[in-house]
Amino acid sequence: ELKVEQNPLFLSMQEGKNYTIYCNYSTTSDRLYWYRQDPGKSLESLFVLLSNGAVKQEGRLMASLDTKARLSTLHITAAVHDLSATYFCAVDQRRGGADGLTFGKGTHLIIQP
């Protein structure tokens, strides 16, 4: 059974600081996804990571994937209040994505002025 674990589950940080969210998964998987969710809203796709060593960056967020370690990280650089949200990582249950995604429990991120 595929398991996806995120840590931390809750993070409060100050603006301007850097931090990393970690996502571990238990079995070999095809792709890893990062989503953002604002309170009461839908899930917004941030990154799709396809291969070992993949690194993607968008603004103050950077995601990386190490398939050998079964680990992905989401790094936040010089955090700003607008990045406050819940961040989920998710993994394809089967190659091609047909069987749906297994999600981590999410990291609730609060960025304070």
Partner 1 sequence: NAGVTQTPKFRVLKTGQSMTLLCAQDMNHEYMYWYRQDPGMGLRLIHYSVGEGTTAKGEVPDGYNVSRLKKQNFLLGLESAAPSQTSVYFCASSYSSLVAGDSNQPQHFGDGTRLSIL
Among 39, 68, 69, 98, binds partner 1 (CB under 8 A): 98
C-alpha span between 38 and 18 (Å, rounded): 20
Does position 110 bind partner 1 by CB under 8 A?
no
Q: Tokens 């700003």 map to which residue? A: 80
Q: Which is nearer to partner 1, 10 or 16 (CB)?
A: 10
C-alpha span between 41 and 85 (Å, rounded): 10
Q: Scan residues 8-27 and list those touching partner 1 (CB under 8 A).
A: 9
Among 23, 25, 33, 36, binds partner 1 (CB under 8 A): 33
Contact between 15 and 80 under an 8 Å Cβ cutoff? The reply is yes
Shortest spacing between CB 78 and partner 1, in angstroms: 26
